[in-house]
Amino acid sequence: MKFAVLIRVYDRVEDLKYNLQVISKTWKENEYYIIVISNGKNNGYEILPEAMPLIDKLVILEENAGHRKGNSQLLLEGIKYIPSDCDYTLILEADTWMYQDKTITKYGRLLSQKQDKVWASADWYDKYYALATDFAIVKTDYIRKNPGIFDFELFPECHISNFLRDTNAGYIWIEENMPVHVPSYIRYKYPYVPNIKEGRFYVFPKSKTTTHHIEYLQGGIEQKKRYFNILADTDFFPNVKSGNKTWNRFKMKFWISLSKCFVKRSWYSKKTYKEII
């Protein structure tokens, strides 16, 4: 399979550099065309020189649409450069690092087997129908016919679900990247939930993925590298001491699994589609 990988970046240019290294060295099961769309240059966030050789197509936007529209701006611009021979497009945040591409292969094949399914990503909210946008696999033909799927401002995850509903298109949950959030009443100091406001996990052992925002990590990028080594069960970043990887992965899996036992809204109330005004 051939995938266009659409990576959007504003300020996380160091994250992008390491992400591209991970992709180049460990994603071997498919063919990938790497598109990087950036809108941070005018604010001082330039793509690092080390990253440039690992990018097939780099698009720099001179105007930044701002926080509410910026993510949409990057996606809408990026889809213009998807090669015609890429049947699938992976949309990826610069700070979402995944070791190896087995999960990509699995869900690409599942999409190919289901004509009515066009999207695969994690279930984002417990209350609303919402699909994750930090890591998602989409049938490219659907994007070409329905670019409005990326035309959003607030609640992009809900917009995606609403748009799929309105176009009678189905989706598959990437269960390896779930659950994303913990119930609000256990957010405070819950292990592996560093940002209380967001209340979500940033490590996903089953898919060997970390999505950490480094500003929420004590130790910053070095701690993120440490988590990545633990998830990958290898010293991908050799200069980082990762301790007992097996024990640390067990702890991650334990706390993530335990979070499923706490009462959630979905236990007593069905999901609804959020009205976005």
pTM for the whole structure? 0.95
Alpha-helical regions (H) of the chain? 13-26, 67-78, 102-113, 140-145, 156-166, 220-232, 245-259
CB-neighbour burial class of residue 138 (10 A; exposed 0-12, middle 13-18, buried 19+)? buried
Closest CA to 151 of 166, 168, 170, 137: 166
Q: What is the mean pLDDT of residues 111-121?
A: 97
pLDDT tens string 12-58: 999 999 999 999 999 999 999 999 999 988 888 999 999 999 999 99
3-state helix, strand, coil in the chain (%, to 5): 40, 20, 40
235 token code pair = 């010293």
Residue 1, pLDDT > 80, answer yes
Domains of the chain: 2-175 (3.90.550.10), 184-265 (no CATH)
243 token code pair = 């301790």
Q: How far apart are CA 93 and CA 245, in angstroms?
A: 25
In this prediction, residue 266 carries a pLDDT of 84
In this prediction, residue 277 carries a pLDDT of 77
Residues 133 and 91 sit within 8 Å (Cβ to Cβ):
yes
Q: What is the mean pLDDT of residues 243-264?
A: 96
In 10 A of CB 145, how many CB atoms? 13
Looking at per-residue pLDDT, the higher value among 189 and 8 belongs to 8
In this prediction, residue 69 carries a pLDDT of 87
Distance (Å) of CA 277 to CA 13, 131, 147: 32, 18, 20
pLDDT above 70 covers what percent of the chain?
100
